[in-house]
Amino acid sequence: MVANLPAIALMKYIYSITCIAGLLVFISVEITSAQIMRIGVKAGPQLSWVAGDDPKYNSVATVRPTTGFHAGLVLAFKVKDRYFLNTELIYSQKGKRVEGKIDPNLRDKVVYNHIDVPVLFSMHFKGSLTKERQFKWYINAGPTTSYWLGGKGVIKSGDLIENGLSELKYKIAFGTRPDHNNADILYIKDAKRLQFSMSIGGGILLEPANRQKVMIDFRYDIGHTRIGTPESSQFMVPADYQDSLKGRNKGIRMSLIYLFEFSSDRKERNKGKSSIKK
């Protein structure tokens, strides 16, 4: 399969695999040497959209954000002093809402399902509300690798209304449409299912109990990979509408993260414990 790729595509493929492999090796080495590790879960809402690069499509439709949610696992470990390296495994809902400029009845809301793996470097700072009440805040940034699982949507248009349909619910399948059946399946050819983006953000870290952390996290994801081409999306109906996937996923997330802290350092493990012998 690799031998049939064009030279530029082959270089991108090799570069992507090399970056991922190097990143995994780096993470495994750091985890082995880390003395403080945090493991937990996260969940929260998100707002996402597709930033289009197709002028022809932008002249007939307006793309707006849509809401979704994300949830998954979090692993963080201390690299040095106030610096942490965080990685996550997340199920994420992305998508867009489309409103027609030429067809006033056109409305298309689609949700894309993804598995996201962000790797973020964090820098922590101390803050205080009063002399007795303190908290920590942080900033972070790093790459995110995503895999496009599929999705579903619902579309309305003037063509559907003329054919006696108020709306059409559809599911996404990858590949070329094999026949003229199953109008409720949207086939997407030449989809870029492996996607890369840059994530930046920050938040507040609270400590409700010993060895337990609560984080309120805010993040902005900037897609790097175009998810498809102007001809990728193959609707059978409506016949007068052609979606364009020449664009990049972007989004804003808010997460609630709950972490349990573990340490291989004896001094760190004994913090908060009484030294009085019974």
- Looking at residue 275, its pLDDT comes to 44
Tokens of 179: 């026949």
Q: What is the per-residue pLDDT across 126-154, written as a single tens digit (0 to 9) for each?
A: 887 767 777 899 999 999 999 999 999 99
Helix (H) or strand (E) holding 5: none
Q: How many helices (H) and strands (E) does the chain have?
A: 4, 12
- Looking at residue 3, its pLDDT comes to 42
Backbone angles phi and psi of 45, in degrees to 5: -85, 165
Q: What is the per-residue pLDDT across 160-211, written as a single tens digit (0 to 9) for each?
A: 999 889 999 999 999 998 888 888 999 999 999 999 999 999 999 998 888 8
Q: Which residues contact 277 (CB under 8 A, 6 or more apart)?
A: none
Count Cβ neighbours within 10 Å for each residue of 60-81 and write b for 16 or more, e otherwise.
bbebebbebebebebbbbbeee
Cβ–Cβ < 8 Å for 242, 228:
no
Pairing of strands 107-128, 134-156: antiparallel
pLDDT in tens, the chain (278 residues): 444 445 555 555 554 555 555 555 555 555 545 578 999 999 999 999 999 999 999 999 999 999 999 999 999 999 888 899 999 999 999 999 999 999 999 999 999 999 999 999 999 998 877 677 778 999 999 999 999 999 999 999 999 999 889 999 999 999 998 888 888 999 999 999 999 999 999 999 998 888 899 999 999 999 999 999 998 888 888 888 889 999 999 999 999 999 999 987 655 445 544 444 44
User: Is 105 exposed, middle or buried (CB count within 10 Å of its CB: 0-12, 13-18, 19+)?
Assistant: middle
- Looking at residue 1, its pLDDT comes to 40
